[in-house]
Structure 1
């Protein structure tokens, strides 16, 4: 037998063995495949079959490896990626039965657990774990180092608390560690410095209980490229050894409380490209930028930096963004900055910089943002500022810049904002600048510009400020080309001619200021397009003729100043229909009697120096009319003080008067048997005899501590009023009298479209009736919290109307306007002290009006507190400092208004929320601080629509800010109103936050 023949059985055996092994392997593979698919289907079932995983179905033909969320290697599952899948529930213990898992991504879901899920401990091959932006709470365990193979761990955006475990420093394979936006106690374990392979470390926005220091051990992280510890209550100094982190490329320590000097070694790092150190307390001079040749973005703004800007910025040839604003830097801006080839954003505003601007700015780079306002800069704007045509903003107001504007601005087609007010510029405006296609805001006030206005303006222009210059000539008819114009201020110039009819075509116009010019002719009367006009000032011109009756149709007008002109004729009665907060018709040639609606102290200086005007209200300081006012059977033309005096005497009557009134009520027309007096505060179409029959139980629409409120229809015509009846009671007499006097004093002296009108007062020896305008849709409280039966009873057929988000936002804005007027625009600030949703009343169009001023307090001056004898108000709305000190100022109203904002956005009551915390403020703050998904957990499901979520969340956050524990952290109502009016945009406070966002966008 040959050797070859002897090998044949062996070959047959080998083929057979291989075949058997192949069959065994195939069978085993099918078994593993089936087991893994079963585990994944159990996982889906555990999470109650979320809709995004509906395609996870059993199949014999298609492997689960074909599912887009699953990654496989050699037929076995190695990765699960389920971000933003709306998954609720916990992490099941059987997940690690997928033995070959190396990567898990469960980010941006709603998963929960009490503590870090230890189920992952059994995933022996796990390298990447992303649990960020979920609802995990509790502590991260001390034995987390058992997950020794981890290379990336992201648990940011959860509610983990307690200490960051020291053992995390034993995960030496980690390349990425992300613990941002959790509730760890504030300290960072130095052991993190032992992670020698770490390349990315994110510890930002910790909601820390205690301030922390940046451990010097972190500087041992020689491979670290990305360090983000913004907004985490860091204190102390930046470690001097930070220059040893040789690989560092990105450093963000912003929004902390760091102090001391910036270490000079920081800029020895050759790889460093992005540095954010803004909003700290860093001091001293900016270090020399010795080796930082790769820096792309440098933001050191909002610190206490002094000295000058180093000359060696010229070495930073890659620099695209430089922000040094809100510091105390002085000296000249180095000319070398103008020659940086990569410079896009330059923001140096709010410093003490002086001298001339670098002449080459914009010539060698694609400059977009140029902001140098509020310094002491001199000389001209650089001629090449828009050389490359990319410039979008020129912001240089509040300097001493002079000369003519660069001609290149006239052809700078990307310009959106030019803000140059309060300088010494002169000469003509470059002709093309007026009509730059994208120009939105042009603000040139307080300079010495000359020339005439152009025939046309940019169609996109929304704000034009050219006041206090030397512009001359007429307003051209082409001004109507700018149909988006909202704000026009051309006051204090040399403009002449008549006010062109074309101005009245600007339907978006809200503010028109043409005072202190040389305008003549008559006022325009065809003004139907001015539906949004709130402010009109034409003071100190030579305008003649009569005031057109059509001005009474400007329904939202609140400020009207026509003083120091040559107007004649009578004041149109139609003006009394307006809800003016400021009216000035003084120094004209007006005649006749002023409308009775203006006969109150709110218009004390509105009619001076009109010799032929008259009125019967002495404080107006004009001639007394020699005839009695009409439309009232019994009127009084004495001062409010002379009304209140007899009232006080009336209240000193015997307690038996109460029983007299009670007995009268038992008779039909009992009130008519008593003797009443009426004092009007506006023109009336009724008398007390029209009111009294309506004071019956069937007309009661509300009640409170001071008495009942009635809905009364008066004839003629069929007008509806609301009547509050205050009935004397010896026990409550003194308290109610104070509230009555406060309400009469305040409501009769102020006028605002968002404050309920007091029409008149009717009184006798036993009781008082306050007559108000009637508001059809009653109180905000009823719409937000009223039961369906109660709402249907009171609101009748309108209860089906949904208080959707646009209506709620409209109500918030209206109430804020009223409150802002009380705090900032009255001669003496008024604090309401009992602001709540039941005191926000709504008219038929859901315009909000603040009511019930019985507890209101006039302050001596803005910001000054007054001490009260007792705390009054409603539970859930009372600011904490008021409850503790009984001192009041405007900020207690801001707190109450913040509660109302929380009611509007959440739909919850101010108290009694069925929670362990009965206060809405505590409930909202807890959700916000725990980092929960506010949109899903807090916002009112009844009105939550996708297109309004950003606005609702923004207003919710504003409510959080307004209800801050310290009054110092709360904004003023003027600031609150501004934010609400801009709520469809990102909620940012001022130029500085916009600047940071813009600078960050270059990274």
Structure 2
């Protein structure tokens, strides 16, 4: 009998055997506590039809919405059922799932109290219970979760105080309890109210205190601000807090957003607030503050200032207002201001929206020097007698001023008491006119009737205060589409407005593509990810979604067989197994040797389809090899966490060592980010054609056992991003940065001009530039790449994808992709290398900021934003570098150089550098460095959680990051 016949015969009988033995063999595959815990959850939620959990082996049968580890027996480490409209309570049996690292029950209708048994989940990194209807208090037992990094209890009905025990969570990064009914004072270690002497002041790793929209009382304890605190967000707004703002608040040195508005704070604003030099937003509206306005001269990064509706002493416009060079939005309604508005105030370069309503402003309103950025100005109910508007033609409100009684403004809209439009909407152009029934709505994509997933975002600290600029909603739609891997045509914004707490409310309808209704798996994915979407300038969101009308299948759990029948089947199965065993062993051994021989000959799968469908034939590779899953498992010690060197939107990256001692980097896709087989094959074929010293080389791939992995050369020094921000311990000097800039340019020039066919990378950023042991740069991660235009075409029309901050604005607006789009992104990277700042930081875009500084003070003005490591470099050399960067980031693609021209510029630059100063590359540049350190979260990063979420950096802007 031939091998193929042996194998088919064995395989057929094995399937029969597996079916018969299913209930006997699999019982031992998953830890029994985990089985019992999951089944208890399903029963408590009455969700057999929803969850479709059948049998008694969650890991072996791959139950939906869970992920297991490779222990023996296997343990459940990830459970996410977000957005499935689950009802019922959270039972105590959840405490059986002690290996859980992520628990996501968000966006459901769960009720009842949070069980203390949650405190038994000691391996938990992510706890996401937001947007349910949980009641009662926060269990003190949550203080046992010392591995916890993210705690979301947002938008429930919780009451009572914040437990002191939360102060034991030494690894907590994000603490969000907003939108509940929590009461009491903020706990701190020395308040004498707990025996453990812990409180909020012990959370030294926490960046985010999001406590808004509760009923918290008392004052802000001085104790929670001390030099060891890492806080960047303090959102205490919309509570019942009182007392004075403590002087010690200046000890929270890293604060970027301070929101104390809509409380009962009294007394004067302490001068120490003016020492929080990293603030981008300061909100003190709607309190009972008195005295003089604070001196904020030093807050040069401030974008938004809200001082409205307090009881300040009467004052003229303070001189410090004109020093707020980053200011975009100011709210000073009912601030007791007197006198004219200084003409110089409107010269602030980024000013966009100003509200001076209900004050005693008088004299002439002079807007002759205002900038084009000013879109909204309101001075209702003041004493302005005349105006000089110059070229200002944007939204202006002057009703209630004497000037409205003059002939100049007779019947003018400027003086008409017409309510301003409170709400805006946004959608891509569509001509749908058909009528749909029930929950269906015309889908903007093709006008077919579909049921959208209706989401509601409340952005708590946007760095703008008006929707006069409709580009804000366009940025929102683009960011949502990028993060959820959707087309902008699938997204409609029926309503967006600022509520009475100065929070931005945005409704979004997300339409399925090609079907009438979303499937549950897609809703779980969208619901889990949507709460992490931070469009530039929008700030942290609270996310809620309306229940989705799924079409649930019917099913029942269990086989329906009695015990005697099961025993009989089991005995019979053993007999059959003995008959089949001999044949199986022979065929298996033969197949093993055949597979091994195939691997050694570097042959590849002939079919990439599912089932019997062939999807494109075998691979056509040049120099890349096929790896078995077992081979990579051995190379990484079973994908041990100690070999994990990064994570991104695609999945995780592991260091590995082959039996040949060759070191490799393995990019392992997670289930939620896998491509289709054809797309995966196409990416492999594309990468296998790329061979250049400055382009990350593809060593091989793995496509078996439900895995998609790409294997690359191991790069000892990690990413350029890690090096710039100090994550890897490398200190890049000036000449090393020039060397990296040149290498990156050479890699891109090869892709554009010499690769066949030409390749547009489409996601150039510092985290996609890798550094080898000699700091040679290699362009990496081609997950978003496109074949360049051919047949005489000048561009490729395609959906906009990439990373916000690096995106070519012309490509963003026209959807026309060219090589010049990579040039623009490369220019942003050059500015990042120069400043060691992210492209969008504290609401400021690096390209715009550099241009503004150059216009204001020439190259000398850039000294203020240079990376401190470069402060002593010659500004003449810096000027050459900046000139190339600004040339690359011209708004018009036609004005940008080609990458070949950039290479020539840097080759001349480097040659001149070496001729003038010689090579000064330090042999000590690796001192104190741990190779390829796992990256920690930066201030503005938020890692979208995965099946095993860690604190490694994966920027919430990344769309396909390979770290």
Same fold (TM over 0.5): no
Q: Which has the larger radius of gyration?
A: 1
Higher relative contact order (CA 8 A, sep 6+): 2
- Give the TM-score of the pair, scaled to structure 2: 0.41
